[in-house]
């Protein structure tokens, strides 16, 4: 496994790969790797000749300085996991390498996609994601890139980014990997206190209850059910719960307003912001 810390190292590592026209799968991450990330790397390993994983805590996608400061960083362990999973190239640049002083940042317009949920609640977040992923696509020029459906809206943003860049990369959405108690794996779970870690699985159990309820209930009944259930939990603070059209990510009011419906939730538990979602498949 080759570890590249600079763009020059990366270009050099990729030069013979490009000469031989080997297929490249890219997995962008912010490190603190867990089995969710590992599932993306495994899929990339199966589908490509070369696997590139980026490990970079992207400062410009954080709209909260404290969140950035406390974001877990576990490079040594990350490298162990990546070696085990058969990654070929790790790209782990410094912020200065990725964003040289004085170099302007790209500015993307994701239209309505960025006006809701994560886009609305975290100003600048998706532009930051677009800038880093766009730069990674330009540098690595992958055939396929792998993203988790845990960040459901992000997948739509990335697909739109690819359209804007007119890049040929295929975006491969990957299913959410969960702990045995249902909690979606996340680097931020490491920041939960022991007590809050025990509480956190309630989020997914409420989502699952809402899925059962959805079989015979209207969309607004399901929405109210989730909001009420979260509000009943003393330690959970609901940031949003929206049921949206999977394609447009815009909120809908009736099941039939979308071909596929996804319920997206963000809950604060202590200082930790947890994100999750569930699909309803209402015909
Ligand atoms: P992050 O390091 O949090 O930026 O995540 C890097 C990639 O891993 C993103 O595409 C995430 O959606 C994905 N990911 C994170 N957690 C999970 C999970 N539990 N299951 C599947 N994919 C995940």
Q: Are 142 and 52 in contact (CB under 8 A)?
A: yes
Distance in Å, CA 19 to ligand 1 centroid: 31
Q: Are 61 and 71 in contact (CB under 8 A)?
A: no
Q: Where are the alpha helices (DSSP H) in the chain?
A: 7-19, 35-47, 65-70, 75-84, 95-98, 117-121, 125-140, 152-165, 194-199, 202-214, 219-232
Nearest-10 Cα torsion for 170, 26, 131, 91: -170
- Tell me phi and psi for residue 133, to 5 degrees: -70, -40
Ligand 1: residues whose CB is within 6 Å? 29-30, 36-37, 39-40, 147-148, 150-151, 174, 176-177, 184-187
Give the pLDDT confidence score for residue 179 in this predicted structure: 98
User: Cβ neighbours of residue 148 under 8 Å, at least 6 residues apart?
Assistant: 36, 37, 39, 40, 173, 174, 175, 176, 177
Testing ligand 1's pocket by substitution, the residue of 25, 26, 28, 29 carrying the most ligand atoms inside 8 A of its CB is 29
User: Cβ neighbours of residue 44 under 8 Å, at least 6 residues apart?
Assistant: 25, 26, 27, 51, 53, 144, 146, 172
Query: What separation in angstroms does the CA of 138 have from each of 2, 21, 144, 253?
Result: 19, 16, 13, 39
pLDDT truncated to tens, each residue of the chain (283 aa)? 999 999 999 999 999 999 999 999 999 999 999 999 999 999 999 999 999 999 999 999 999 999 999 999 999 999 999 999 999 999 999 999 999 999 999 999 999 999 999 999 999 999 999 999 999 999 999 999 999 999 999 999 999 999 999 999 999 999 999 999 999 999 999 999 999 999 999 999 999 999 999 999 999 999 999 999 999 999 999 999 999 999 999 999 999 999 999 999 999 999 999 999 999 999 8
Q: Are 51 and 88 in contact (CB under 8 A)?
A: yes
Q: Are 189 and 215 in contact (CB under 8 A)?
A: no
Q: How is residue 44 annotated by DSSP?
A: H
DSSP strand pairing (236-245 vs 170-174): unpaired
CA distance 2 to 240: 41
Catalytic residues, which ones?
37
Q: How is residue 150 annotated by DSSP?
A: G
Distance in Å, CA 231 to ligand 1 centroid: 27
Give the pLDDT confidence score for residue 132 in this predicted structure: 98
Give the pLDDT confidence score for residue 30 in this predicted structure: 98
CA distance 14 to 22: 10
Give the pLDDT confidence score for residue 105 in this predicted structure: 97
């Amino acid at each position: 496994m080759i570890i590249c810390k600079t763009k020059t190292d990366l270009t050099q590592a990729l030069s013979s790969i490009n000469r031989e026209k080997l297929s490249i799968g890219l997995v962008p991450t912010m490190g603190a790797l867990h089995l969710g990330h590992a599932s993306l790397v495994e899929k990339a390993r199966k589908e490509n000749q070369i696997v590139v994983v980026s490990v970079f805590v992207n400062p410009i996608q954080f709209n909260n300085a404290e969140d950035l400061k406390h974001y877990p960083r576990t490079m040594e362990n990350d490298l162990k996991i990546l070696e085990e999973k058969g990654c070929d190239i790790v790209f782990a640049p410094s912020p200065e390498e990725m964003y040289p002083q004085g170099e302007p940042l790209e500015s993307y317009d994701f239209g309505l996609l960025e006006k809701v949920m994560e886009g609305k609640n975290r100003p600048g977040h998706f532009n930051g994601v677009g800038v880093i992923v766009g730069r990674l696509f330009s540098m690595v020029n992958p055939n396929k890139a792998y993203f988790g459906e845990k960040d459901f809206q992000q997948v739509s943003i990335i697909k739109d980014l690819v359209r804007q860049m007119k890049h040929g990369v295929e975006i491969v959405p990957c299913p959410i990997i969960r702990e045995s108690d249902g909690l979606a794996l996340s680097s931020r779970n490491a920041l939960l206190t022991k007590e809050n870690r025990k509480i956190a699985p309630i989020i997914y159990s409420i989502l699952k209850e809402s899925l059962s309820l959805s079989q015979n209930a209207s969309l607004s009944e399901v929405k109210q059910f989730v909001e009420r259930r979260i509000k009943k939990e003393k330690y959970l603070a609901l940031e949003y719960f929206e049921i949206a059209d999977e394609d447009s990510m815009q909120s809908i009011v009736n099941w039939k307003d979308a071909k596929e419906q996804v319920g997206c939730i963000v809950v604060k538990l202590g200082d930790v912001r947890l994100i999750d979602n569930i699909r309803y498949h209402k015909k």
